[in-house]
């Protein structure tokens, strides 16, 4: 079957491009002497996690406990980092179960979470590795000074059932020297307390080709690189040919020559603008703009006639690949024009 | 179980408020002599569709064929309108199957789709009712002039296997006289051709209390009224107490006194701003702003200290209820503080 026979809207994943992207960035990290720990949030598919691991990744990253459970469901993953503060007995019990099935690390940025982790893990004979999450400028989670990082590292080191695992940050874009300064200073402070800092985990797709600007980093967490998307194209981090995820959509209405409506709305493309104008890049039609989304419709507008006709199929590179992965229960694996198989998105919607 | 014991993040639906909302708007439409045809996109749950029908709705609205299939899966629905141009053999075959199971109507805004419908339905002995979709200013689908509406109505009337069902529009907000003028004129033109216009289907939540401004309308399609949301609160269409859908979330980080981070990100709240600033209304904390979303985090900021602490649970009224319904496989039915049951969102992610 040719991909054009696929019912629309559908999310297509080109496995040939996926393999290329994995191999290329693994080689880059290998050359830089940096461990690679892909974030599965982009694909949410155990089969692709295994592909990343077999190419040389040292483990995977998940954001939530339920994502980690989904990733372990099919085997083949034995090193897993959850980059999230985990709080509350039900999640901690599930975390304890997970720790029996893989080499598990988590992060924390506060004492309340550290004490919660300790309470559950002191009952086990396998300590849990906990990294300190640092806010190096992204203004999300993380301790906000190197001094706080050091205090929390000491606390983790002293709590029964826990083992200090290092430092972790979700770095802001294009502020690498600030990020490096924070992490260097935190590392030095912690080491002065005779605590080893084995891992300094950095990451992010926008600055993926500039890892040498944060020399303190020992491992790189990255998600989007496996699929790439319009936001990375616009930043010149990748080209159109590197984009493995596309949305296949059909024109369902052409009310005026200057306006066409397609059958992929926010339920596929999402409203995530990611700082861009327009809701995606239409392959072969760079002049057309996806100007307006509702749940099941997207309007395509143009200064002149769009040239589109009813029934015509379009392939769209979305602004942000990760969020599109989370919309449908299944994606379609293709290779170039060729249909391969329908693939469940195993960890879709896993938010617990 | 009290709802505060529910694991977060979760989408809660208060059934007491749902019942109130359904009853109140049904009575309003009954008083105005208008048929009510709720759009299931807001809830995607057959059980709630049945509640709407048993309260007096004349049928339901779906946007896609797969949503209609999901709504018929549990019985109890026998009148169904799909407000979408349906194109291509696979969807048309599914539509044919659907027409055997209920009183089915669809819309069309172009000849290509009308001919496609006819090709499949002329093989059956039950004609398909087709309404003409009119663009009365929303700039999405629909014929753009009353004259075009008349031409398409005549075509539907002549095509074998089809029956002209009336006019349908997705009206722009607060432009009722323009909408009424378009539809009146189209109706008159069609009737001059000795074709009856049985149904004029209008709708939309923002103007739900002003139906008399479009007197030509015979039926009202509406989705959000069953749950309500922050966008309707801001328009003073409903109050906080009328909002049946809330997102239950926990504080997972308080990096500074002025910033807290919760565990519901765009994978629950979505990035749909719906013209508002901020990503939701936190019940009990009107001064706090959900200022930034990533997939699994939302940042709450405040001019002064947020007053929030780790582990604290918050209930959030999202900007747009319909899109939140589409994010998780299950919602939680509650009544006030009381947990009732976990409810699958049967038509979630149905985009075909």
How confident is the prediction along chain A (352 residues), in pLDDT tens digits per residue? 777 789 999 999 999 999 999 999 999 999 999 999 999 999 999 999 999 999 999 999 999 999 999 999 888 899 999 999 999 999 999 999 999 999 999 999 999 999 999 999 998 989 999 999 999 999 999 999 999 999 999 999 999 999 999 999 999 999 999 999 999 999 999 999 999 999 999 999 999 999 999 999 999 999 999 999 999 999 999 999 999 999 999 999 999 999 999 999 999 999 999 889 999 999 999 999 999 999 999 999 999 999 999 999 999 999 999 999 999 999 999 999 999 999 999 999 999 9
Decide if B349 and A272 are in contact by the 8 Å CB cutoff. Answer: no
CATH classification for the domain delimited by A15-227, as one of 3.40.190.10, 3.90.1150.10, 3.20.20.10, 3.30.365.10: 3.20.20.10
Q: Note whether B141 contacts A: Cβ–Cβ < 8 A.
A: yes
**A3-10+231-344 maps to CATH 2.40.37.20:** yes
Please tell me the distance from the alpha carbon of residue A316 to that of residue A333, in angstroms, as a whole number: 16
Is this model's pTM higher than 0.80 or not?
Answer: yes
In what helix (H) or strand (E) does residue A146 lie, and over which residues does it extend? helix A146-158
User: Which CA distances in Å does A208 have to A112, A173, A203, B244?
Assistant: 33, 10, 7, 43
CA B156 to chain A, closest CA, distance in angstroms equals 17
Q: Note whether A308 contacts B: Cβ–Cβ < 8 A.
A: no
Q: Note whether A113 contacts B: Cβ–Cβ < 8 A.
A: yes
Residues 163-192 of B with CB under 8 A from A: none
Residue contacts between A and B (CB atoms, under 8 Å): 153
**In sequence order, what are the residues at sequence separation of 6 or more whose Cβ sits closer than 8 angstroms to the Cβ of residue A155?**
A111, A114
CA A99 to chain B, closest CA, distance in angstroms equals 20
Torsion on CA atoms B129, B133, A311, B121, rounded to nearest 10: 10
CA A68 to chain B, closest CA, distance in angstroms equals 14
Give the best residue of B296, B302, B314 to mutate against chain A (max A CB count within 10 A): B296
Give residue for tokens 């990760």.
A322
How confident is the prediction along chain B (352 residues), in pLDDT tens digits per residue? 777 789 999 999 999 999 999 999 999 999 999 999 999 999 999 999 999 999 999 999 999 999 999 999 888 899 999 999 999 999 999 999 999 999 999 999 999 999 999 999 998 989 999 999 999 999 999 999 999 999 999 999 999 999 999 999 999 999 999 999 999 999 999 999 999 999 999 999 999 999 999 999 999 999 999 999 999 999 999 999 999 999 999 999 999 999 999 999 999 999 999 889 999 999 999 999 999 999 999 999 999 999 999 999 999 999 999 999 999 999 999 999 999 999 999 999 999 9
Q: Note whether A291 contacts B: Cβ–Cβ < 8 A.
A: no
Q: Note whether B140 contacts A: Cβ–Cβ < 8 A.
A: yes
Residue A15 in contact with residue A333, Cβ under 8 Å?
yes
Q: Which of A87, A261, A267 has its CB closest to that of B310?
A: A87
Collect contacts of B99-105 with beta carbons under 8 A, ≥24 apart.
Answer: B99/B124, B99/B126, B99/B128, B100/B126, B101/B72, B102/B72, B102/B77, B102/B78, B103/B59, B103/B78, B103/B79, B104/B68, B104/B80, B104/B128, B104/B129, B105/B80, B105/B81, B105/B129, B105/B130, B105/B131, B105/B165
Give residue for tokens 């075959």.
B93
Decide if B267 and A328 are in contact by the 8 Å CB cutoff. Answer: no
Residue B273 in contact with residue B227, Cβ under 8 Å?
no
- Provide the residue ranges of all domains of chain A, joining segments of one domain with +: 3-10+231-344, 15-227
Q: According to the model, what pLDDT value does residue A63 have?
A: 98
Give the best residue of A152, A263, A308, A319 to mutate against chain B (max B CB count within 10 A): A263
Closest-approach residue (CA) in chain B for A299:
B140
CATH classification for the domain delimited by B16-227, as one of 3.20.20.10, 3.10.20.30, 3.30.420.40, 3.90.110.10: 3.20.20.10
Please tell me the distance from the alpha carbon of residue A93 to that of residue A17, in angstroms, as a whole number: 39
Q: Note whether A88 contacts B: Cβ–Cβ < 8 A.
A: yes
Q: Which residues of B touch A295 (CB under 8 A)?
A: 41, 63, 322-323, 326
Q: Which of A255, A259, A263 has its CB closest to that of B143?
A: A255
Please tell me the distance from the alpha carbon of residue B346 to that of residue B330, in angstroms, as a whole number: 8
Give residue for tokens 């004609």.
B127
């Amino acid at each position: 079957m040719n991909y054009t026979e696929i019912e629309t809207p559908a999310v297509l994943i080109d496995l040939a491009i996926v393999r290329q992207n994995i191999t290329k960035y693994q080689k880059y990290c290998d050359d830089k002497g940096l461990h690679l720990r892909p974030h599965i949030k982009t694909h949410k598919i155990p089969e692709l996690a295994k592909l990343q691991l077999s190419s040389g990744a040292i483990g995977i990253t998940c954001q939530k406990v339920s994502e980690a459970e989904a990733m372990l469901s099919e085997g083949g993953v034995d090193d897993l980092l959850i980059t999230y503060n985990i709080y509350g007995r039900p999640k901690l019990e599930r975390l304890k179960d997970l720790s029996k099935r893989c080499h598990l690390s988590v992060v924390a940025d506060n004492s309340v979470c550290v004490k919660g982790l300790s309470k559950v893990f002191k009952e086990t004979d396998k300590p849990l590795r906990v990294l300190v999450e640092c806010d190096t400028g992204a203004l999300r989670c993380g301790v906000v000074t190197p001094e706080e990082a050091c205090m929390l590292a000491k606390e983790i080191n002293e709590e029964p059932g826990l083992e200090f695992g290092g430092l972790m940050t979700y770095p802001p874009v294009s502020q690498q020297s600030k990020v490096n300064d924070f992490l260097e200073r935190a590392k030095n402070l912690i080491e002065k307390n005779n605590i080893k800092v084995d891992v300094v985990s950095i990451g992010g797709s926008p600055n993926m080709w500039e890892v040498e600007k944060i020399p303190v980093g020992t491992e790189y967490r990255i998600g989007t690189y496996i699929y790439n998307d319009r936001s990375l194209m616009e930043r010149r981090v990748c080209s159109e040919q590197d984009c493995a995820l596309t949305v296949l959509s059909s024109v369902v209405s052409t009310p005026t020559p200057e306006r066409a409506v397609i059958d992929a709305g926010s339920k596929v493309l999402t409203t995530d603008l990611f700082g861009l104008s327009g809701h995606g890049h239409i392959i072969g039609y760079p002049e057309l703009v996806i100007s307006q989304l509702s749940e099941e419709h997207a309007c395509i507008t143009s200064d002149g006639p769009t040239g589109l006709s009813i029934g015509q199929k379009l392939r769209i590179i979305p602004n942000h690949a990760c969020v599109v992965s989370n919309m449908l229960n299944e994606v379609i694996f293709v290779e170039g024009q060729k249909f391969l198989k329908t693939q469940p998105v195993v960890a879709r919607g896993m938010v617990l």
